[in-house]
């Protein structure tokens, strides 16, 4: 698959699921909700890299109470369209979460394994509270008991790209979320 080739790049985009406007409206609503929960409280948004960085950037601007930001990187896909089943934390936080109400900002909850491991890790560090907000929730694929406290969109079992979500590091910059179908590249 030669995704760096301009002609091939767009061939696998099967269908736009959420437009730029859909996403903007949902992010604004989520920002208002989070602002109402944490007014006057020390808030730390934790983005799971790399997929959630676009979502975090828009979400933190939609939150109208003071907040700090930190990043973790965890991998389970390793360049494929399906989770490998193993989770590796490759970059940890700089903040002491025990001083904050922590909101994990995730791009997608699929099997739930990655986020379940991150939640256990952060819970053990005794934050003032811990919640999860996810851009996309794919409950039909869940393999562990995990739910987000706030989901912007629920989707069926489709492989999606755009708005931070990737395939082998490509497509993150798309302003919308689309279903990707690799078989379309072979036509």
Active centre residues (catalytic): 110
Q: How many residues belong to the chain?
A: 187
Distance (Å, whole) CA 31 – CA 95 = 22
Candidates 110, 111, 115, 112; CA nearest to 155 is 110
Exposure string over 68-88, b if 16+ CB within 10 A, otherwise e? eeebbebbbeeeeeebeeebe
- Residue 133 bridge partners (DSSP): 105, 150
Mark out the alpha helices in the chain (DSSP H runs): 6-9, 20-38, 53-62, 113-123
Answer whether the bond into residue 41 is a cis peptide, omega within 30°. Answer: no
Is residue 166 classed as helix, strand or coil in its secondary structure?
A: coil
Q: How far is CA 48 from the centre of its chain?
A: 7
């Amino acid at each position: 698959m030669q995704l760096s080739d301009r002609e091939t790049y767009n061939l696998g985009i099967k269908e736009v699921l959420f437009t730029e406007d859909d996403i903007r409206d949902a992010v604004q609503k989520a920002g208002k909700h989070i602002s109402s929960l944490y007014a006057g409280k020390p808030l730390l948004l934790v983005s799971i890299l790399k997929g959630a960085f676009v979502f975090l950037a828009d979400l933190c601007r939609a939150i109208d109470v003071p907040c700090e930001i930190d990043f973790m990187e965890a991998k389970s896909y390793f360049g494929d369209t399906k989770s490998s089943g193993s989770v590796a934390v490759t970059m940890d936080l700089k903040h002491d979460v025990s001083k904050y109400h922590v909101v994990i900002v995730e791009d997608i909850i699929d099997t739930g394994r990655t986020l379940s491991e991150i939640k256990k890790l952060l819970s053990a560090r005794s934050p003032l509270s811990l919640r999860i907000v996810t851009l996309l929730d794919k409950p039909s694929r869940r393999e562990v008991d995990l739910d987000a406290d706030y989901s912007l969109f629920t989707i069926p079992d489709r492989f999606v790209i755009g708005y931070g979500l990737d395939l082998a590091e490509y497509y993150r910059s798309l302003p919308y979320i689309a279903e990707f179908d690799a078989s379309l590249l072979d036509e």
